[in-house]
Amino acid sequence: MNTSPEPAGQQRTRPPLSEAAKASLSKTHTLFRMFVIAVIGSFFVYQLDVNYLWLTGILTVASVALGVVLLVRAAKLKESKLVLIGTISGLVVSAIMALLILVTAVFFDEVRQYQACMGRALTDQAQSACRVQLESSLPRQLP
C-alpha cells in the first residue's frame, strides 16, 4: 500500500482574457439573452391571444435573425459551448414556431373561434365541444 501522496499534476489554467476578448464575450452573452427573450416571448405571445399573431411573427423573425448571428459568432470565435447548444435549441423552437404561425395564418378564423370557445368553456364537455367544432371547421384529408 502506497501511503505517500503523489505529486499533483499541473493544473490547466486559462490565460487571462484581453479586453477585446472580454468585450466580445460580453456582447455574445447579451445577444444570447436577447435571443432567449425573443424565443420565449414569441411562444407566450402566441399563447396569449391569436389576434397578436403579427407580434408573434415579428418576435419569431427576430429570434431567427439573432440565432443566426449567434451561430456565426459561436463558430467564428469559439467562445462558449453552452451558447452554441442553447442557440441551436432555440433555433429549433423558432422553426417550430414559424411553422405554427404559418398554419395559424392559413386557418386564422378557425383558430380564433376555437380560442374564443375555449375561453368560455368551463367544463370538460364544453372543451370537447370546442375541439369537435374546430375539427369540423378544418378541411378534410383528400381521399
pLDDT by residue for the chain (143 residues), tens only, comes to: 556 555 555 566 665 667 766 777 788 888 889 999 999 999 999 888 888 889 999 999 999 999 999 888 888 877 778 888 888 999 999 999 999 999 989 888 888 888 888 888 889 888 898 888 888 888 876 45
Residue with cell 422553426: 95
Q: What is the dihedral of CA 70, 72, 74, 77, to 10 degrees?
A: -130
SS3 11: coil
pLDDT score at 77: 76
pLDDT at 142: 45
pLDDT score at 7: 57
Q: Which residue is it, cell 442553447?
A: 86
Identify the pLDDT of residue 66.
Answer: 93
Count of residues making up the chain: 143
Q: Which three cell numbers stand for residue 97?
A: 414556431
Q: How far is CA 91 from CA 47, 56, 118, in A?
A: 19, 15, 30
User: Which backbone phi and psi does 107 adopt, to 5 degrees?
Assistant: -110, 45
Give the type of residue at 85.
I
Q: What's the pTM value of the predicted model, to 2 decimals?
A: 0.73
